[in-house]
Structure 1
Amino acid sequence: MASSLESTVSSGTLQRARAQEDAAWESLVRQYTPKVYRWLRQNSIAPQDAADLVQNVLIQLFVSLPHLERDREQGNSLSAWLFVVTLNTARDYFRGQARIPDALGGSDDHRISDAVGIDETPSEELIAKICRLYEILELVRRRVEPKTWLAFWRLAVDGDPAAEIAADLGMTPGAVRQAKLRVIELLREEGL
């Protein structure tokens, strides 16, 4: 079964990327690499590890892109799909880190981390919080209209300007901001 997506990326760019045209693929990489990196860093992943994990997310995009479909009625976007893949990548990263034993003897990095109280091994609590975040986001997405969710996502997560989102979705900038507030209210009701 193919996944659905609507994207701020033009359908022509997606079609060319599916056909493995280098220029189209490079355009997707340029557009989404900073977002994926920022999402990973917001999940407390070290910069060097986040850079590696961005590559894993982009590989998943490359592999999955031929199977993704555009569906404007569903309100799903390429950005939202990548966000979920990024959360799953972060979760897998934390699970893997939990299985790596602490180094004996210590390096300069290890001593510095100990001195400032940084725990490099994520806790089960952090892993559970990331999983719960994904569950809440999906629950709220199902409770609102697709256009409301897309307006929220693009404004709150992607950081797109309200005027640009309004023009793309046939809304006013005020309605875009209201959509964001509505979704945030629902997220808070769900305990986020």
Structure 2
Amino acid sequence: MKNTRNTLIGLYFNLSIVILSLFFLVRGLIHGNTVKWLLVVALIVSEIFNIIFAGINTVNSFILLKNSDYDSMRKNMKALKFGVIPYFVINFIIYVLLFLLFFAASRGFILFTPIPLLFLIPVFFAYLTVIFTSSYGIGFSLILYKEKRVKTGKLILHIILQLCFVLDVIDTVILLVKNKVVKINE
């Protein structure tokens, strides 16, 4: 759970740096190059830490899968998937508002420029976040498969759902509701 907590802290720290940067830029509060560079460095460092935590969580999910640690996998999956919901909602709102601002300011001409491609970068990083937060959900599904609690078709469906925006959270709820108790094989 420590890895999950650190990951959530890292993601929200990164989001706060993005919001702070946008606020300063919109308000025109950044006059010196030092503050601009500090924000850029903070953003890059937070992204690097998020990548490191993504790797740590992925490795941890493999370890829990190898040990068939149902309870820890379930707790980490639940904490991470539900913990990132506000992150994704805020992230989505920020980038939609930015796109609408650029669209309105350019009277629609932005669509004919390369600027919309810049919006794909945050979408790419958001999707990477979905993938690494899905490591516990996929691992949980594989444990259920190993214990013969789900069949191959449902395993594949759970893996696909874990890799899609919004559907990953719905699938997590389904997995948690249907698999509350550990089935002890005697």
Q: TM-score range by the shorter chain?
A: under 0.3
Q: Would you tell me which structure has more helix in proportion to its own residues? A: 2
**TM-score of the two chains, using structure 2 as the length reference:** 0.27
Relative CO higher for 1 or 2, CA cutoff 8 Å, sep ≥ 6? 2
Which has the larger Rg?
2
**TM-score of the two chains, using structure 1 as the length reference:** 0.27
